[in-house]
Amino acid sequence: MISVRGMVGARVGVLGLGRSGLTAARALRDGGAKPVCWDDNSSAREAAEAEGFEVADLAAGAIMETLARLVVSPGIPHLYPRPNPVVLAALRAGVTLDNDVGLFFQSFGHGAWNAFDTPPKVVAVTGSNGKSTTSALIHHILRESGRPTQLAGNIGRGVLDIDLPRDGEVIVLELSSYQTDLARALTPDIAVFTNLSPDHLDRHAGLGGYFAAKRRLFAEGGPDRAVIGIDEVEGLYLANQLAESASDDRVIRVSSGGQPGPGWSVTARKGFLAERRKGRQVDSIDLRDIASLPGAHNHQNACAAYAVCRALGQAPKSIAAGLRSYGGLPHRSQYLGARGGVGFVNDSKATNVDSALQALLAFPRIRWICGGLMKEGGLEALAPGLGHVAKAYVIGREAPGFALHLTGIETEICGDMATAVRRAAEDAEEGETVLLAPAAASFDQYDNFERRGEDFAAQVAQVLQES
């Protein structure tokens, strides 16, 4: 655990007692602070009380005036669409807002590092799509090369729950916009911006606010190196803001469109990753036969991971070996197996239109399982990928309404996952892929996208056993 520093004896409110909130309370107490915890859920409050924490309604009476800081869990809105009542009370009382990520960066480095030959480093990854895969790839490549590393944040463990870092260790953090938006300290050694597409717009009052939340990772502390995906104008703009000149190699530009940026760049074109520095290609890797990284979007993830590892001093051959041995993450272009020349791929994490489009573009002919709670903006942006779809099998409580938005392709209303998988498997022909890429949230039928992906995997396992 990373003990929170600089708050000995201070009363600190902790709002939200899920994974990050309860871990923050423990780290605060371990560092000598006095956490005061609250959650609207009574079972969460009882769990905190069982660990000996003070539990009190932070908006009641004069409690707020006794607090030095309020630590807010990521799922709790602090500004848009409207502040949580406890957050609003803190704003009116002038109590400083923060989150576990801010506490982590405030507390990570300390005097004991003077004994290290190589100080630990932090890599922080943000963006709309590909954060998890990019973070996991970096972690995997480093681990396979023998370098100590931990993976945390929006994936794996909470940021304050990691082990104390070792000599030369690299901490890889996946950070969402909810986490970067509120953290008071953001000082990674290397920061990564994968891409930007509309998501969480209500939470950030539009696309500009969403981009601003991501941009804070680069603007607040100033990383030593920035790896920036430049396939969207926001990435181009961010790279331009961070670089002093076109040749400034503190910025590594990444593209899956194959167009190298100026200076240091890593690009993927027709399945080949290429690193260029000072106008010359210095290395190349064939990504086409890596089953766990299909499609241009995963090639962009590979480019970003490669760039980070090169910035950390890893040799290209070591990185290539790590890319080839990467097994993939559950629910993110996860290959589940094949039957009769038909592959089955679980991309339940494709909860928005942009990520679903990238999944559709990754395979030549698809039996597509889609549907759920449709997000703002509709499905029109999927059009470039629909030519790859042989037929769509629509699930979700509002499946008929969802199917109406899928123009120009054959659809079948299935409703539930078992029916969709069975029908897709019956129809599929050799060379096709049965793909779950919902382009929608899961909450109409499942607690989260993981549960949806697990259901798909279970149904596919039955199909494969019957072969």
pLDDT band at 291 (very low <50, low <70, confident <90, very high): confident
> Which pLDDT does position 466 carry in this prediction?
87
> Which pLDDT does position 101 carry in this prediction?
97
Long-range contacts of 106-114 (CB under 8 A, 24+ apart): 106/4, 106/5, 106/6, 106/184, 106/185, 107/2, 107/3, 107/4, 107/5, 107/6, 107/27, 107/31, 107/160, 108/2, 108/165, 108/171, 110/5
Residue 261 assigned ligand-binding role: no
How high does pLDDT run on average in the chain? 94
Model pLDDT for residues 402-458, shown as the tens digit of each residue: 999 999 999 999 999 999 999 999 999 999 999 999 999 999 999 899 999 999 999
Residue 130 assigned ligand-binding role: yes
Model pLDDT for residues 343-399, shown as the tens digit of each residue: 999 999 999 898 899 999 999 999 999 999 998 778 999 999 999 999 999 999 999
Residue 129 assigned ligand-binding role: yes
Q: How large a percentage of the chain has pLDDT more than 90?
A: 86
> Which pLDDT does position 452 carry in this prediction?
97
Between 53 and 221, where is the model more confident? 53
User: Which domains does the chain carry?
Assistant: 11-98 (3.40.50.720), 103-325 (3.40.1190.10), 334-466 (3.90.190.20)
pLDDT band at 467 (very low <50, low <70, confident <90, very high): low
> Which pLDDT does position 272 carry in this prediction?
95
As a whole number, mean pLDDT of residues 329-336 equals 89
pLDDT at 89 over 80: yes
> Which pLDDT does position 241 carry in this prediction?
96
In order of 162, 179, 333, 346, the CA distances from 373 in angstroms are 34, 24, 20, 18
Q: How large a percentage of the chain has pLDDT more than 70?
A: 100
Contact criterion met (CB below 8 Å) for 191 and 111: no
> Which pLDDT does position 274 carry in this prediction?
96
Model pLDDT for residues 185-198, shown as the tens digit of each residue: 999 999 999 999 88
> Which pLDDT does position 279 carry in this prediction?
87
pLDDT band at 36 (very low <50, low <70, confident <90, very high): very high
Residue 121 assigned ligand-binding role: no
Model pLDDT for residues 4-17, shown as the tens digit of each residue: 999 999 999 999 99
pLDDT band at 200 (very low <50, low <70, confident <90, very high): confident
Residue 295 assigned ligand-binding role: no
3-state SS of the chain is CCCCCCCCCCEEEEECCCHHHHHHHHHHHHCCCEEEEECCCHHHHHHHHHCCCEECCCCCCCHHHHCCEEEECCCCCCCCCCCCHHHHHHHHHCCEEECHHHHHHHHCCCHHHHHCCCCCEEEEEECCCCHHHHHHHHHHHHHHCCCCEEEEECCCECHHHCCCCCCCCEEEEECCHHHHHHCCCCCCCEEEECCCCCCCHHHHCCHHHHHHHHHHHHHCCCCCEEEEECCCHHHHHHHHHHCCCCCCCCEEEEECCCCCCCCEEEEEECCEEEEEECCEEEEEEECCCCCCCCHHHHHHHHHHHHHHHHHCCCCHHHHHHHHHHCCCECCECEEEEEECCEEEEECCCCCCHHHHHHHHHCCCCEEEEECCECCCCCCHHHHHHHHHEEEEEEECCCHHHHHHCCCCCCEEEEECHHHHHHHHHHHCCCCCEEEECCCCECCCCCCCHHHHHHHHHHHHHHHHHHC
Contact partners, residue 16, CB within 8 Å, separation at least 6: 39, 72, 73, 75, 76
pLDDT band at 175 (very low <50, low <70, confident <90, very high): very high
Residue 132 assigned ligand-binding role: yes
Residue 107 assigned ligand-binding role: no
